[in-house]
Amino acid sequence: MNIKKEILFRVRIAFIIIAIVGIAIIYSIIDLQFNQGKYWESKSKDINLSYLKIKASRGNILSDDGILIIEEPSLLECLQKISYDQFYNEHIYVFSLLSINNLIKKYRLEVFNIEKLNTHGGSLRYYIKKVSNNKFEIHKKVKMQLNRELRYGINKYSTYIKFKNKVESSKKKFSERLEKIEWNNYYNSLPFNESALALYKWSPIAEELKSLDKKIVLNSMILKWDNVKKEFKELISF
């Protein structure tokens, strides 16, 4: 009986301690919610992250006679070629000469020369200087490119509606093509041949050198696909 009483005594003590701790926790919650709520709410606002505009510690790093060179896929080329695959991942912005001009003019900068490149299906390299820099004259190519963009209607909303319709039409054609594929035999019909041709066409290599690589590119793709087919057959052979 003494052992039983001792166990009950210990259980009661434990229960009392738990009850006291529980009451203390409930009191703390109520106190935190109603008495200290405003304090911690203001405290959280003070320590929250906020976006601040911070001026560059170096200041203006472009010298008065310096040149800033940037390279971007051409928005005009994207619209003309319906190359909407340029808008992927972090590349959500594609610029034109017109948009570059509008962006930099508030910093007293201007484009004085451009180069057309084949990368990304058509890119532009912009040469930028300070407006006060008289060392470089504005090349006629700048005006010619700007006129091309304006003639195409790159500054008009309707141009992008037309582009949207062309993208949807391209998507529809792809879906129709996908539905017509005979998957049982498709792997025998050089499915990546068009990819190899696209790689050859858009690779940023001089045309006189590129022509020497056409057979190499196509044969490499075919050989790789044959190896993939062989490895896959071995994997599914039990």
The residue extents of the domains of the chain are 11-37, 68-161, 182-236
The contacts of residue 40 (CB under 8 Å, 6+ apart) are 32
Which pLDDT score, from 0 to 100, does residue 204 have?
Answer: 67
- Architecture field, domain 68-161: 3-Layer(aba) Sandwich (3.40)
Distance CA 45, CA 48 (A): 5
Which pLDDT score, from 0 to 100, does residue 143 have?
Answer: 95
Which pLDDT score, from 0 to 100, does residue 7 have?
Answer: 74
* Segment 179-222, tens digit of pLDDT: 888 877 776 777 777 777 777 777 766 777 777 777 777 777 77
* Segment 120-131, tens digit of pLDDT: 778 999 999 999
Q: What percent of the chain has a predicted confidence (pLDDT) above 70?
A: 88
Which pLDDT score, from 0 to 100, does residue 137 have?
Answer: 93
The Cβ of residue 118 has, within 10 Å, a number of other Cβ atoms equal to 16
Distance CA 123, CA 78 (A): 9
Structure tokens at 135: 């060392």
Residue 133 has pLDDT above 80, yes or no: yes
Which pLDDT score, from 0 to 100, does residue 57 have?
Answer: 66
Which pLDDT score, from 0 to 100, does residue 59 have?
Answer: 64
By the 8 A CB rule, do 145 and 174 touch?
no
E strand map for 9-149: 68-73, 109-117, 123-130
> For 61-85, b where at least 16 C-beta lie within 10 A, e where not — what string?
eeeeeeeeeeebbbbbbbbeeebbe
Question: Strand, helix or coil at 16?
Answer: helix
As a whole number, mean pLDDT of residues 156-176 equals 93
As a whole number, mean pLDDT of residues 32-53 equals 73
More confident residue, 147 or 236: 147
Distance CA 71, CA 75 (A): 12
Q: Predicted confidence band at 132 (pLDDT cuts at 50, 70, 90)?
A: very high
* Segment 86-106, tens digit of pLDDT: 777 666 788 999 999 999 998
Question: Strand, helix or coil at 24?
Answer: helix
Phi/psi at 52 (5° precision): -125, 140
As a whole number, mean pLDDT of residues 50-66 equals 75
Which pLDDT score, from 0 to 100, does residue 134 have?
Answer: 92
Residue 187 CA, chain-centre distance (Å), reads: 32
